[in-house]
Amino acid sequence: MPRRPAKVTQADIARAIRAAKDAGANEITVDGDGVIRIALGPAVPPVVPKGLVDEAWVPSEALQRYLKGTESG
């Protein structure tokens, strides 16, 4: 049985993404029926948590023990 033609191709999606970026879209969705939706709206700035910029992540003692046990030597 031959394959059916694609409802939407990779080229269609690439064109939609380029056009959406040019238009300033903030969301693109492709549903199962091949419908490409581009949501135009006000740009939402990324949320940056305050107070966490200068903090360094330190692994817990349990994680340090695990990592030490998995090192190949």
Q: Which residue has the higher pLDDT, 67 or 1?
A: 67
Q: How many domains does the chain have?
A: 1
Backbone angles phi, psi at 72, to 5 degrees: -90, 135
| Residue range 3-53, pLDDT digits in tens | 888 888 899 989 988 998 888 888 888 888 888 888 887 666 666 666 655
- Kindly write down the DSSP assignment for every residue of the chain, as one continuous string: -PPPPPSS-HHHHHHHHHHHHHHT-SEEEE-TT--EEEE--PPPPPP--TT-SSPPP---HHHHHHHHHH---
Tell me the pTM. Answer: 0.49
Nearest Cα neighbor of 40 from 29, 30, 25 is: 25
Q: Which residue has the higher pLDDT, 55 or 68?
A: 68
Q: In one letter, which amino acid is 34?
A: G
Residue 36 within a domain: yes
Residue 6 within a domain: yes
Residue 52 within a domain: no
